[in-house]
């Protein structure tokens, strides 16, 4: 029997410079998509996939993130007193069980690979997930759940992948495909942020991973790569070198890059329109805006 994936690492120690000045005091992961912080979407996705232990790799100035998962007894009491049952339930769904959540510091933002490595002592000899909360994925079946199900069949290491236009390839880790099996590809190489024109395919790695603990050992050796950072992609590519299986998983769903302003705005529109309580008013507003813009052109 393959071991179940029950731990997830959430690397949230980045500086979020693309959202300055907001991120001067608000961690990117606490920024709000409609009415929930990005991190809540990531936690809900992890829970749906059967994750029981949540490991956050944080940095200075991320107190808001730790506070977010604390119980808020005064707020709860006040809502209870006023009979706000629905809000109370919403609030309670953000509480985490004692002992289910761990925080590890990354003392210097040396890259995603380094952030994951910082959590190495909390992972024993077991597969684990990595979720980047700024990649938000709208999907009928949550992306990580799709991956956990696929992983039960394949084992190895698995990265979520999606097609990107050639001119965008140099912003991603790109997969060199060995065999394309439809929803899954086997991987023969991975390049982080390839030079324009040199990408081995149009399949980009996005922020969901299921990794074997060997990847953490690989990270022990890895030096800085693209952009002067320790790249997680390089440690996964080392698995291929060692003749162990790596798969790319084409998830069903839409991914929003909430680490960028344009992606965040797109996600806000898409998630706003998907909410029954907002849909009508919001869509009337957007249609009006579009009509006004067209008339002005
Ligand atoms: P990004 O590349 O989006 O970097 O990191 P960033 O610092 O968050 O944002 P910008 O580019 O300055 O605007 C991708 C993910 O990896 C984490 C980030 O927190 C984010 O979830 N990360 C990145 C770390 O935890 N540590 C690092 O050293 C780098």
Is position 55 within any domain?
Answer: yes
Tokens representing 139 are 């999907």
Question: In the chain, which stretches have pLDDT less than 70?
Answer: none
Q: Closest residue (by CA) to atom 2 of ligand 1?
A: 14
Is position 276 within any domain?
Answer: no
Is position 218 within any domain?
Answer: yes
Q: Closest residue (by CA) to atom 4 of ligand 1?
A: 14
* CA gap 111, 108 in Å, rounded: 9
Burial of 83 (0-12, 13-18, 19+ CB in 10 A): exposed
Nearest atom in ligand 1 to 59's CA: 25
Domain residues for the domain of 104 are 7-259
Is position 283 within any domain?
Answer: no
Q: Mutate which of 14, 46, 134, 204 to test ligand 1's pocket (most atoms within 8 Å of Cβ)?
A: 14
The pLDDT score that the predictor gives to residue 1 is 72
> How far apart are the CA of 150 and the centre of ligand 1, in A?
27
CATH number, domain with residue 53? 3.90.550.10
Nearest atom in ligand 1 to 260's CA: 13
% of residues, the chain, pLDDT over 90: 79
> How far apart are the CA of 242 and the centre of ligand 1, in A?
28
pTM for the whole thing? 0.94
> How far apart are the CA of 60 and the centre of ligand 1, in A?
13
The pLDDT score that the predictor gives to residue 172 is 93
Is position 292 within any domain?
Answer: no
Q: Mutate which of 18, 43, 112 to test ligand 1's pocket (most atoms within 8 Å of Cβ)?
A: 112
Q: How many domains does the chain have?
A: 1
Nearest atom in ligand 1 to 111's CA: 28
**CB-based pocket (< 6 A), ligand 1:** 11-18, 28, 57, 106, 109-112, 114-115, 132, 134, 259
Q: Closest residue (by CA) to atom 3 of ligand 1?
A: 259
On whether the CB atoms of residues 80 and 33 are closer than 8 A, the answer is no
Is position 239 within any domain?
Answer: yes
> How far apart are the CA of 11 and the centre of ligand 1, in A?
8
> How far apart are the CA of 26 and the centre of ligand 1, in A?
14
Is position 78 within any domain?
Answer: yes
Nearest atom in ligand 1 to 57's CA: 25
Is position 278 within any domain?
Answer: no
> How far apart are the CA of 110 and the centre of ligand 1, in A?
9
Nearest atom in ligand 1 to 230's CA: 28
Nearest atom in ligand 1 to 133's CA: 21
């Amino acid at each position: 029997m393959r071991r179940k994936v029950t731990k997830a690492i959430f690397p949230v120690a980045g500086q979020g410079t693309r959202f300055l000045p907001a991120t001067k005091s608000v961690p990117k992961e606490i920024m709000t998509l409609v009415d929930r912080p990005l991190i809540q979407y990531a936690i809900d996705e992890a829970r749906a996939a059967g994750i029981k232990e949540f490991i956050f790799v944080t940095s200075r100035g991320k107190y808001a993130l730790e506070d977010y998962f604390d119980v808020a007894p005064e707020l709860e009491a006040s809502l209870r007193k006023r009979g706000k049952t629905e809000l109370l339930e919403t609030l309670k769904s953000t509480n985490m069980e004692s002992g289910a959540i761990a925080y590890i510091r990354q003392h210097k933002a040396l890259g995603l690979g380094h952030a994951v490595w910082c959590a190495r002592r909390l992972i024993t000899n077991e597969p684990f997930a990595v979720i980047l909360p700024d990649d938000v994925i709208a999907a009928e079946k949550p992306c990580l759940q799709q991956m956990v199900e696929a992983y039960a069949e394949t084992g190895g290491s698995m990265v979520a992948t999606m097609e990107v236009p050639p001119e965008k390839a140099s912003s991603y880790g790109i997969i060199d495909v060995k065999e394309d099996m439809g929803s899954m590809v086997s991987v023969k190489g991975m390049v982080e942020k390839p030079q324009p024109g040199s990408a081995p395919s149009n399949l980009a790695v996005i922020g969901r991973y299921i990794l074997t603990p060997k990847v953490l050992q690989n990270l022990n050796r890895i030096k800085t790569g693209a952009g002067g950072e320790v790249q997680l992609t390089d440690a996964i590519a080392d698995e291929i070198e060692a003749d162990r299986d790596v798969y790319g998983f084409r998830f069903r769903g839409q991914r929003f890059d909430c680490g960028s302003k344009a992606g965040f705005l797109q996600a806000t529109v898409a998630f706003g329109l998907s909410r029954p309580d907002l849909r009508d008013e919001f869509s009337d507003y957007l249609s009006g805006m579009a009509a006004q813009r067209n008339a002005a052109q």
